[in-house]
Every structure is written in C-alpha cells, then in structure tokens.
Amino acid sequence: MHILDFMSIEPSGQSALQIGELTLALILSSLIGLEREFRAKSAGLRTHTLVGVAAALIMLVSKYGFGDIIVKYAIVLDPSRVAAQIVSGIGFIGGGLIFVQRDVVRGLTTAAIIWLTAAVGMACGAGLPLLALFVTGAHFLVVYGYTGIARRIPSKRADLHVRYSPGKGAVEKLMQMCMGRGFLVQELAVEGDATAETEIRSLHVQLRGRRGIEALLVAIEDIKGVVAVKMAPVQDGKE
C-alpha cells in the first residue's frame, strides 16, 4: 500500500449503526439508573447513564478507532485490550460507592449494578444488542423478582440489649423502627426495676427477621435517648 493511500484512509465506525448502538446503551443504562433513582440510591439515573454510554463509546473506539493506522501484515492491534481496561477501570467508581459504617458494609449492590451497567454499554458498543437487552432484563429480574424470593428465606432470631434514657420516647421509636424494617418484635422487656428513678435503663428486645440486623443496630444507636445497643448471641437450642 502506498503511503499516500494509507494516509487517505477515512476512519470508519461513524455511521448510523454506531449511533444506534450508542442510543441503545443510553436507553438501557437509563432504565437501570431509573430503578436506582426510585430506590434513592447514592448512584442514580445520571451516574448509570453516563457509565453505560461511556462504556459503549470506549468499545466503539476500541473497534473502529485504529482503522487509520492498521495495515495488513504491518501493524496488528488487539481491540479487546481497550475493553479489558473498562472492566478494571470501572472498579474505581464501584469502590467509591462502598463504605463501612460501624462495621456495616453499604453500597455493594449499587457498585455491582454500576459494573453491570458498564457491561451493558460494552455489549451495545460491541454490536451485541441481544446480549445487552438480555442482561438489562436480568437486572430487573434480580432486583424485583429475587426480592420476593429472598423474603421467603427462613428468618432468624436476634436478641438485643438496649440501654436508654427514659422520658425521650426512645422505646416507641425503637419499636416503630423495627417494625418499619420488617422485623417482628417477639419480646420486649425492661430489665431491672422499671419503676426505679434511674438515668439509664436497660431493655431486652427479641426480634425475628430475615436480614439487615447489622444496619438496624446502626439505626437504633442513632435514636435520641439510646445510649448503647448490642446483640447477644442466640443460645443453643433456642433457634
């Protein structure tokens, strides 16, 4: 190939097909982002949409962005190398969404969905719309369909010991919080003399629920009037 012919090669990959692939990435990632927005998660509509479209664009650059420098038997490039960098690079965004609050890990699901959105965008950019549609549908199946399945998993019992200051409505708020989070209060008893005029009292709460007890402990500690809360181990033979 003559050098002038080589320099006159026009870059491909800028047709209506690629615009359609970017549009599909925009739509699918927006749908995933809307679901997170409705659930009031830290990463919502804009974050997921930008991740999906950006991943699709990077895939298109990986496929078509080097056509003007590739010459048969002269320069060989592996487009998959750019795609591999998306997988590792998206981890920085996902890592920023995961944090630990009082030994409770939060943001894992949101980080996983960010990673999935990037994969959907990559599939759109790679020209695999059926796979992108399938994974987007699988996302909604897991988020909504698996919720009902998870609720049918046998629940476990938890015994809490709460120290609180009387007269601040802490017990009432604790009850409302437990029931609002789907826990069944099986037993509620004041430990010691409930009539004694003490600044701090102890309360034993026996709960039964499916999951989220660690997050519940964090929320209980934030109730006004609660001094401390800890979960006692369930004794053998009582579960």
Is pLDDT of 238 > 50? no
Same domain, 94 and 168: no
Distances (CA, A) of 24 to 20, 49, 114, 129: 6, 11, 17, 8
Structure tokens that stand for 157 in this block: 């019992």
Overall domain count for the chain: 2
pLDDT in tens, 93-104: 777 777 655 445
Q: Which residue has the higher pLDDT, 75 or 212?
A: 212
- Pick from 65-74, 173-182, 226-235: least confident: 65-74
165: CB partners within 8 A, 6+ apart: 199, 200, 201, 225, 227
Same domain, 57 and 146: yes
239 found inside a domain: no
For range 121-139, the mean pLDDT = 89
- pLDDT score of 234: 55
For range 50-67, the mean pLDDT = 82
192 found inside a domain: yes
CATH code (residue 189): 3.30.70.260
Q: 0.85 cut: is pTM over it? A: no
128 found inside a domain: yes
Percent over 90 (pLDDT), the chain: 6
What residue numbers bound the domain in which 85 lies? 3-151
238 found inside a domain: no
